[in-house]
């Protein structure tokens, strides 16, 4: 196939390509990336940008990493894909065993899928089918947190915040779930039982119809970039046990070290009934996700009417994705990643602190390899994106949140450049 020129790529993009959360009548310019190495994205015009987004939080090792490249190259000569129905292969076996070993104790069964949203769909279906199998078919509703975000497919949309979760246009077609207030406690706040009063009340009133509670542990991501107390998570686990409701934890954004623990659950030392992971699992190389559950859940489902779990993605257990996931997890665990995340956190805290004094900023917060500047008014994405690119950095804000989740390999000097660019742009941005 003949290689396209830069102008041809731009023309095709403008005429035919619909980017995520974008308008085709008032499009935001897309920047033509021709290569990516380390923490840098190279544009077609020769400029290089320091990546602050890890390609939506997934490229934790940066780009074009030799160990991950080799894993894919070696696997493709053996087997790129086979159906997972009735077939097993070594990359999937290795991956599933590793996931059981590194996730919280008790999560022993692994269902692979091809995206984070699908892993949430799988989790919801597991919870509902579990109760159906146990003779309680009325337990079908899910209790979710406001400001939560769990994906863009229909089941996942139903448990996103119905107002701020970007999906209110579809509210009349979605399953009607229950919502509790977003945690009012910050990560380091002293604990007060009033923080769980609302969810406690809802569980007491609706446990007869609730299949599960779903939440993002410690960090509410796309719904607001909000860090909350580990004690909240611990108390929710206790309340779910008390009221016989399952707990689903969505670690798609928080998994694989982002908050300073390998998984967000570890901050509260809890094991959910069902766990969703994705994004960073392959180091950003390929789309892959997983839903883990306890034997209690799998036994309940498989001893029920259907006798099987009613789900089966076509590309489940793709060997290429499993191989690079194995390499990515091994690469992470073979490094002193905890110290690296701690260093990034301290640098983010000191580097972004000056923004607290900006007239247009309401808050600055950091945890692990996550730094957030919250503005008083929503930013103009097209305008601010252009300003970031002019600074030589790639930052993709949403609403009032200007945030970074850089690759773990970012150097101190590159992180300084990234933060200086953020401060310059935010201070001078006119909403």
Task: Point out the residues that are catalytic.
Answer: 21, 149, 250, 279
Using the structure block, give the residue that is written with the tokens 């007491």: 204
The angle that helices 412-428 and 337-352 make with each other, rounded to 10 degrees, is 30
Dist. CA 28–CA 12, nearest whole Å: 15
**What's CA 30's distance to the chain center, in Å?**
23
β-partners of residue 396 are none
Greatest distance between any 2 Cα atoms in the chain: 64
Gyration radius from the chain CA atoms: 22
Instruction: Count how many Cα atoms sit within 13 Å of the Cα of residue 294 in the half-sphere of its side chain.
Output: 17
Q: Which two tokens stand for residue 412?
A: 């101190």
Q: Which two tokens stand for residue 16?
A: 């035919």
Q: Cα angle at 402 between 397 and 403, to 5 degrees?
A: 95
**What's CA 372's distance to the chain center, in Å?**
16
Walk across the sheet containing 210-215 and list its strands. Answer: 107-113, 289-294, 274-277, 246-250, 210-215, 141-145, 178-180
Name every residue whose Cβ is closer than 8 Å to that of residue 235 and which is 6 or more positions away in sequence: 193, 196
Instruction: Count how many Cα atoms sit within 13 Å of the Cα of residue 274 in the half-sphere of its side chain.
Output: 30
Dist. CA 212–CA 61, nearest whole Å: 34
Dist. CA 136–CA 128, nearest whole Å: 9
Which of 337, 313, 333, 314 minimizes the C-alpha distance to 325?
333
CA distances from 196 to 142, 144, 185, 186, 200 (A): 17, 13, 10, 13, 6
Cβ neighbourhood burial of 115 (10 Å; 0-12, 13-18, 19+): buried
């Amino acid at each position: 196939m003949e290689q396209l020129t830069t102008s041809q790529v731009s023309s095709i993009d403008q005429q035919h390509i619909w980017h995520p959360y974008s308008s085709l009548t008032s499009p935001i310019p897309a920047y033509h990336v021709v290569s990516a190495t380390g923490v840098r994205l190279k544009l077609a015009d020769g400029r290089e940008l320091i990546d602050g987004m890890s390609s939506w939080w997934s490229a934790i090792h940066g780009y074009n990493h030799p160990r991950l490249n080799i894993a894919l190259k070696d696997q493709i000569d053996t087997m790129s894909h086979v159906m997972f129905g009735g077939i097993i292969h070594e990359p999937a076996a290795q991956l599933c065993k590793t996931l059981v070993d590194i996730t919280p104790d008790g999560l022993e069964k692994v269902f692979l899928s091809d995206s984070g949203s699908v892993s949430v769909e799988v989790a919801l279906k597991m919870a509902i089918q579990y109760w159906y199998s146990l003779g309680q078919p009325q337990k079908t509703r899910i209790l979710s947190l406001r400001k939560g975000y769990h994906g863009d497919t229909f089941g996942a949309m139903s448990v996103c915040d119905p107002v701020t979760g970007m999906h209110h246009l579809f509210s009349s077609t979605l399953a009607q779930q229950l919502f509790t207030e977003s945690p009012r406690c910050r990560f380091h706040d002293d604990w007060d039982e009033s923080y769980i009063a609302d969810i406690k009340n809802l569980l007491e009133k609706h446990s007869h119809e609730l299949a599960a509670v779903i939440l993002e542990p410690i960090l509410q991501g796309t719904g607001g970039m909000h860090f909350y107390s580990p004690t909240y998570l611990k108390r929710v686990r206790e309340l779910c046990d008390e009221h016989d409701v399952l707990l689903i934890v969505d670690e798609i954004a928080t998994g694989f070290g982002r908050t300073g623990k390998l998984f967000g659950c570890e901050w509260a030392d809890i094991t959910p009934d069902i766990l969703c992971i994705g994004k960073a699992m392959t180091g950003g190389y390929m789309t892959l996700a997983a839903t883990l559950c306890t034997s209690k859940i799998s036994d309940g489902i498989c001893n029920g009417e259907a006798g099987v779990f009613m789900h089966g993605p076509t590309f489940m257990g793709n060997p290429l994705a499993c191989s690079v996931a194995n390499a990515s997890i091994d690469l992470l665990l073979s490094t002193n990643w905890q110290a690296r995340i701690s260093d990034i956190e301290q640098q983010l805290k000191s580097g972004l602190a000056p923004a607290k004094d900006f007239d247009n900023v309401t808050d600055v917060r950091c945890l692990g390899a996550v730094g957030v500047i919250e503005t008083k008014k929503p930013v103009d994405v097209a305008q601010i994106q252009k300003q970031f690119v002019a600074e030589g950095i790639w930052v993709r804000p949403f609403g009032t949140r200007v945030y970074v989740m850089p690759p773990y390999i970012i150097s101190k000097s590159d992180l300084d450049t990234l933060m200086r660019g953020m401060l310059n742009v935010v201070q001078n941005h006119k909403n």
